[in-house]
Structures are given as C-alpha cells and as structure tokens.
Amino acid sequence: MDAKDFDLTSKMSPALDAHSFLSGIGYDFNDDFTVELGLMWNYYEADKNITANVEYEKSNAAAALGLVYKF
C-alpha cells in the first residue's frame, strides 16, 4: 500500500485482519547446549480501501534460529 493512497486515519490505524501459523522445535545436544528453530507464516485477508479504490493482500514468512548455551 502506498501512503499517498490513504487518508490520515487509515495511515494511523490500518486494518490488520490476519491469520498466523507458527511452529518451533528445539534439540538438546547436551545439558548445556540447545539449538532452537522457529517458523512463522501469516497472511492478511484481502481488503479494499473504498475512498482510494485500492485493493491489497499480503503474506509473509519468518524463520528464527536460536542457540542456547548454559554456563
């Protein structure tokens, strides 16, 4: 969405009707070291800004890797 296509109210509080799916897993190599992996995918429902006649739909994915060392 381009900012020029929306009025001040829409810019300050856009619609965020979204569905998110996420999962994570961890593996303990030993008592002191763990590797963690997280995956997320979310998508926003299609919507239309009536005043600007602009339709938008977006989805995105993210991944995270975590290393935990206890000492």
Domain membership of residue 28 (yes or no) is yes
pLDDT tens digits, residue range 4-20? 666 655 555 555 677 89
Domain membership of residue 32 (yes or no) is yes
Q: How many residues does the chain have?
A: 71
Q: What pLDDT shows up at residue 45?
A: 74
Domain membership of residue 6 (yes or no) is no
Domain membership of residue 12 (yes or no) is no
Domain membership of residue 4 (yes or no) is no
pLDDT tens digits, residue range 38-47? 999 988 777 6
In degrees and rounded to multiples of 5, residue 10 shows phi and psi of: -65, -35
* Higher-confidence position of 5 and 26: 26
- pTM (predicted TM-score): 0.59
Q: Give the DSSP H/E element, type plus range, for residue 9.
A: helix 8-12
Residues 6+ apart with CB under 8 A from 25: 36, 37
Domain of 63?
Answer: 17-69
Q: In what order do the strands lie in the sheet with 54-69?
A: 18-28, 33-49, 54-69
Number of domains in the chain: 1
